[in-house]
Amino acid sequence: MRTALLQSSGRPGSVVENLKVLDEAAGRAAAAGAGLLAAPEMFLTGYAIGDDIARLAEPADGDSADAVAEIASRHSLAIAYGYPERLGDAVFNSAQLISATGGRRANYRKTHLFGCFERDHFTPGEQPVVQAELDGLTVGLMICYDVEFPENVRAHALAGTDLLVVPTAQMHPFQFVAESMIPVRAFENQMYVAYVNRVGQEGEFEFVGLSTLAGPDGVARTRAGRGEELVFADADPVSLAASREANPYLHDRRPGLYGSLV
C-alpha cells in the first residue's frame, strides 16, 4: 500500500485551515496512487496551543471527524490524523484512522504522555494496541513518545500489526529517534513503521521533521527533510512476509524469561 506522510504543522489554532491543508495533501496523495495519508500528532488543532487544546477538543465522532471523513471519501484514500479528543471532562491526545469510504476504523489515545506540557493538558490512554484492517494490511496506531517504549511496539508485533502509523511531534534535540530508533523498531519487530512529524518552531518547541517510513529490514523507504513536505513509500505485504520468514526474532523469543520486566 502506497503511504503518504504529510510533514507539516499546519496552522496551529485553526481547525478550519488545517482541514484545508489536509484536503490539499489528500488530493496530491491520491493523485500519486496512495491508499493512506498520515498526518502528524495533534494536526487538527496544533500542538503547542495551551488552553486552546481543551477548547478545541472534540469527540471522536465530532464535526471535525465528519469533515475528515468527507475528505477521505472524496479522494478515495484512508486518512490517519492526530487531534485532541474530548470524552466528558477528559481530553486525550488521540489519533484516528478514517477509511477511504469515510468510515471511522480506529481511534487511539496516547498512553505515554511526554513532559509537563502533555501531563498538564491530557489524560493518558489505557489501550496499548489499536488496529484496523486496511487494503490487506493490519494497521496499528501509536503516537510519538509511545514508540520509544519497546514493549509498546512489541505488543503490536505480537498482535500482528503490519504497518504501525505513528503521528508525532518530535522536537529538538531528540532527532535521533527519527534517524535511528524508528528503523530499529521496524527491524526488531518485523513491521513497517510510518513516523510522521510536525516541523518548525511552535511555541517553546522546535519540531525537527525527518518523517520516515522504515521497512522490516531496518531501511528507511523514504525520509523527509526539515521543511513542510509530502513524501511517499510503499508497505508491501509480500516483502513483509518474506522478511518475517527470514528473521527469527519473534520465533526465538523466550517470554518465560521476561517476567521481571513487569
Q: Give residue 262's pLDDT.
A: 74
The string of DSSP codes covering 4-61 is EEEE----TT-HHHHHHHHHHHHHHHHHTT-SEEE--TTTTT-SS-TTHHHHH-B-TT
Are 172 and 208 spatial neighbours (Cβ–Cβ below 8 Å)? Answer: yes
Question: What's the chain's average pLDDT?
Answer: 97
My answer on whether omega of the bond before 248 falls inside 30° of 0, hence cis, is no
Catalytic hit among 41, 85, 118, 202:
41
Residues of the chain above pLDDT 70, percent: 100
Q: Give residue 197's pLDDT.
A: 98
Q: Which one, of 59, 65, 57, 143, lies nearest residue 104 by Cα?
A: 65
Q: Give residue 100's pLDDT.
A: 98
Ranges of H-type helices in 141-236: 150-158, 176, 182-189
Catalytic hit among 85, 118, 144, 202:
144
Q: What is the mean pLDDT of residues 191-201?
A: 97
* Local confidence band at 35 (pLDDT 50, 70, 90 cut-offs): very high
Q: What is the pLDDT of residues 37-78, one digit of tens each?
A: 999 999 999 999 999 999 999 999 999 999 999 999 999 999
Please determine, for residue 8, whether its predicted confidence score (pLDDT) is greater than 80: yes
Q: Give residue 75's pLDDT.
A: 98
Which amino acid belongs to residue 135? Answer: D
Residue 41 annotated among the catalytic residues of the structure: yes
* Local confidence band at 259 (pLDDT 50, 70, 90 cut-offs): confident
Q: What is the pLDDT of residues 216-235, one digit of tens each?
A: 999 999 999 999 999 999 99
Q: What is the mean pLDDT of residues 119-134?
A: 97
Least confident of 144-158, 228-242, 247-261: 247-261
How would you classify the pairing of strands 90-98 and 2-7? unpaired
* pTM of this structure: 0.97
Q: What is the pLDDT of residues 145-180, one digit of tens each?
A: 999 999 999 999 999 999 999 999 999 999 999 999
Are 109 and 87 spatial neighbours (Cβ–Cβ below 8 Å)? Answer: no
The rounded distance, in Å, linking the Cα atoms of 63 and 223 is: 33
CB-CB neighbours of 222 under 10 Å: 17
Catalytic hit among 58, 85, 110, 202:
110
